[in-house]
A and B are shown apart, each in its own frame.
Chain A
Amino acid sequence: MKQTRKNHLWFVSLLLILSGAMYSRSSFAQDTRYVIIDQDAVGPAGTDMNSMLVFLQAAHVNVLGITVLTGDGWRDEEVAHTLRLLELMGRTDIPVMAGAVTPLVRTQEWTHAWEQVYGKVIYQGAWSSFRPKHGAYEIPKLAEGDPTTKVANEDAAHFLIRMVHKYPHKVTIYAAGPMTNIAQAISLDPHFAELAEELVIMGGSLNPHTEDKEYVDSPRHEFNLWFDPEASSIVFHAHWPKITATPVDVSIETHLTKEMLEQLKTANTPAAQYIARYTRKPGDYLWDELAAAAWLDPGLITRERFVYIDVSLDKGISYGDTIVWSDDDKPALDLQKAHVQIDVDWPKFKKFFVQLMSSSAPGATNPQMRTQPNQ
């Protein structure tokens, strides 16, 4: 009896050790979140690139790949900036896929004709008159150095589709550029959206409280959704398990301040050094960084609206504008609801961002970015 009991105790303790080990293992597995970053990646530094760093710096996040498309800049130059960023961060294990070069339907020529009737669109990404003029497929010399790594053979849409089938209901699609790549994936595979875990976008604008000339007279206008309205509408009509949007309303509560840049300068990580070295001037909104950070820590958001969302395809003055409805006034269409962020805990986010960039990155090997504090 005694003997048995001793054996029993031993067995129980073994079981406890084993289950403890299994528990920590399974909890680790649960904590690892899969994400694909879909971006228009104008760099070096700037909101597009910095948002990638948010994911790369985070623990327990598996960035399956980065899909790039024309938006803020032309696709191929953006691909180069992305490859270079991954080299500098020691994350060349992450594949980069090239996607759309133009919107689905909108053309630059047609947009010019539209502007004659309805007025100028201040910011047009790659089409903006203030952007350095070069062809869609030309890659100028990069300030941060030219990449030696290469873009993947697979294109963006097929990569997106392949990943949600490989990890069904586990992959977050983070889309912080125009929606062309995502729409293309949906058109090629009608089950794409439902197989994702959720869609997180930077995009849209509801009622931003600002004097910013881009929004003060066109509060429903936002570049990412405007650039490819048809793609945006395709994306919002798809059946995602969850949609989260970071619109202009909340973006404008954030800035990359001088003080933050000073703090990043003193941090010895490749990420902080990259931002400190290549940010031309402080003051930019943290558009995409916030969308990424709020996915990691939803507690950063202090107010959201849960509304049906779409984009106007009416080719008149509203073309590409964000439209939302509540349950009370929604039309009888198959629309999806989105968690639309309205306010952020700005001090908390500021701290979160600087700390994240200043902490050592989990997956980095041999980063090429030399740390040069006080440069």
Chain B
Amino acid sequence: MKLDVCRWKSDRRVFLKTATGSAIIAMIEGQSAIAKPTLFVQTAGSNSLGVTKATRVIIDTDPGVDDAFALMLALQSPELKVEAVTAVAGNLPLGITLPNALRLVEICDRADIPVAGGAAAPLIRRQVTAASAHGENGLGGVELPEPKITPVKEHAADLICRIANQSPGEVTLIGLGPLTNIALALRADPTLSKAVKGIVLMGGSLSGGNVTPAAEFNFYVDPEAASIVFNSGIPITMVGLDVTRKVELTESYIRQLEAGKNKPSQAAARIARAIMATYKKHGQNGGPTLHDPLAVSALIRPNILTFEDYQVKIETTGTITAGESVGWKRDPINYAAALENIGPSSTKSEGTFTPNTKVAVDVRPDEFFHLLIERITSNA
């Protein structure tokens, strides 16, 4: 992606004064008026009247078939106030994920939400994509109209820093792709980890990977970025393969989408059909696994998932296991053994058990699909 040369001309201070941030927030505040209050009390802090405030989120994504479903779910759910969508290279190169993000925001009639482009490649490693699972255009080959809206000039990492810092303790990041943009933001602004309320992410697994037996795709693509995020101190909610592999979209749900009258339902059904046809060609039955919307659902209806506290670290060293998420449940926190005995206590614990992650360990798929279909087919 070519960068706009002018984008850096105004410094941050000037930008903060002139940016559309406040206008956007005002718009989103307006949107919250239509929120259905009190339904999902666990979602966010309630005030004394029991009225639930929508959770303010920035969605970092690489659409992507399941990302498309996740964006529709988030954009059509009143429990979430989507402050911005940021695109990253992952399932497909940034040249595809960014226009797809724009398309999806447009299909949900949410052109008011800023969309920013971010990292075109992982921090260190060579780019790996998953076109075979998502189609060359990231949407199973379904041609959605060219987006009319354009991305904002700001880099995704800058936008994340700016919005999070404007409202410390308020904004939750949703990471649906490789964590490159979020890692860049964390390193660009060392205070960001204090300003962010939490990170909910689709990625990782405590029960084996999908690219290698060790690593899930998002962490496999940029293990260094994932490691930065898990070392950041931000409270993490990890929705990984442990649960997402249990939410495969089936024929009956696709029919329900097809019955939906709005644009998102129709687009979602077409994408799902196209993916099923592709799978069939390769001798596989079944529909797409909806990893990313399950992560989004954790913020809308947390009781769909069961969580357990873990101390999670990301393997960046292994030639075979890079990108593996390793979760400790209790002390001692041990790393690899020394190559030689180095004294009486040759196994040295590397610190105490301090859980940094709520890991989703079980899921109620029916409840998830009920929520997903209801939201996508509703006219938000």
Q: Which residues on A are within 8 Å of B, measured CB to CB? A: 100-102, 104-105, 107, 109, 112-113, 116-117, 153-155, 157-159, 161-162, 165-166, 180, 184, 187-191, 230, 233-234, 313, 315
Contact = CB atoms under 8 A, between A and B. Distances in A.
Contact of B188 (A113, A153, A188): A188
A162 B336 contact: no
Interface in B1-31: 3, 5, 8-9, 11-13
A117 B339 contact: yes
A101 B190 CA distance: 7
Contact of B224 (A102, A112, A153, A230): A230
Interface in B105-119: 119
A188 B184 contact: yes
Interface string B126-162: 0000000000000000000000000000010110000
Given A101-B190, A116-B338, A116-B348, A190 B120 contact: yes
20 contacts: A104-B123, A104-B224, A107-B231, A113-B335, A113-B336, A116-B342, A117-B336, A117-B338, A153-B11, A153-B12, A154-B11, A154-B13, A155-B12, A158-B11, A162-B9, A165-B8, A184-B187, A188-B184, A233-B124, A234-B123
A161 B158 CA distance: 13
B41 interface: no
Contacts of B348: 116
Given A104-B187, A109-B350, A161-B8, A153 B13 contact: yes
Contacts of A233: 124
Given A188-B184, A315-B316, A158 B190 contact: no
A234 B119 CA distance: 14
B189 interface: yes
Interface residues of B, number: 34
B124 A234 contact: yes
B8 A162 contact: yes
A352 to B, nearest CB: 36
B212 interface: no
Contacts of A191: 3
B190 A162 contact: no
B320 to A, nearest CB: 13
Given A105-B224, A155-B188, 12 more contacts: A101-B190, A104-B183, A104-B187, A105-B227, A109-B351, A113-B335, A117-B339, A153-B12, A162-B11, A165-B9, A188-B158, A233-B124
A315 B227 CA distance: 14
Contacts of B378: none
A145 to B, nearest CB: 26
A116 B349 CA distance: 11
Interface string B329-345: 00000011011001000
Interface of B: 3, 5, 8-9, 11-13, 119-120, 123-124, 155, 157-158, 183-184, 187-190, 224, 227-228, 231, 316-317, 335-336, 338-339, 342, 348, 350-351
Contacts, number: 80
B60 to A, nearest CB: 15
Contact of A155 (B119, B189, B350): B189
B12 A315 contact: no
A165 B5 contact: yes
A157 B351 contact: no
Given A153-B12, A187-B184, A100 B190 contact: yes
Contacts of A101: 190
Contact of B350 (A112, A117, A166, A188): A112
Contacts of A180: 187
Contacts of A184: 184, 187-188
Which DSSP category, helix, strand, loop or mixed, fits chain A's interface?
A: helix
A180 B184 CA distance: 11
Contacts of B155: 188-189
A157 B123 contact: no
Given A116-B342, A162-B8, A230-B224, A189 B3 contact: yes
Contacts of B224: 104-105, 230
A154 B120 CA distance: 24
Contacts of B9: 162, 165-166
B187 A100 contact: yes
Nearest to B122: A187
A233 B119 CA distance: 17
Contacts of A105: 123-124, 224, 227-228, 316
A112 B339 CA distance: 15
A187 B119 contact: yes
A190 B3 contact: yes
Nearest to B124: A230
A244 B183 CA distance: 29
Nearest to B16: A153
A233 B227 CA distance: 17
A230 B123 contact: yes
Contacts of B3: 189-191
B299 to A, nearest CB: 28
Nearest to A154: B11
A113 B334 CA distance: 9
Contacts of A109: 350-351
Nearest first, the 4 A-B pairs at minimum CB distance are A315-B317, A101-B190, A162-B8, A154-B11
A75 B350 CA distance: 26
A63 to B, nearest CB: 18
Instruction: Select the residue from A112, A113, A116, A162 with max chain B CB neighbours within 10 A.
Output: A116
Nearest to A98: B190
- Among A165, A180, A234, the one with the most B-chain Cβ atoms within 10 Å of its Cβ is A165
B329 to A, nearest CB: 19
A233 B122 CA distance: 13
B233 to A, nearest CB: 11
Contacts of A117: 336, 338-339
Nearest to B232: A102
Contacts of B124: 105, 230, 233-234, 313
Contacts of B8: 158, 161-162, 165, 189
A113 B12 CA distance: 39
Nearest to B6: A165
A166 B10 CA distance: 11
A180 B231 CA distance: 17
Contacts of A116: 338, 342, 348
A153 B15 CA distance: 11
Contacts of B336: 113, 117
A187 B351 CA distance: 32
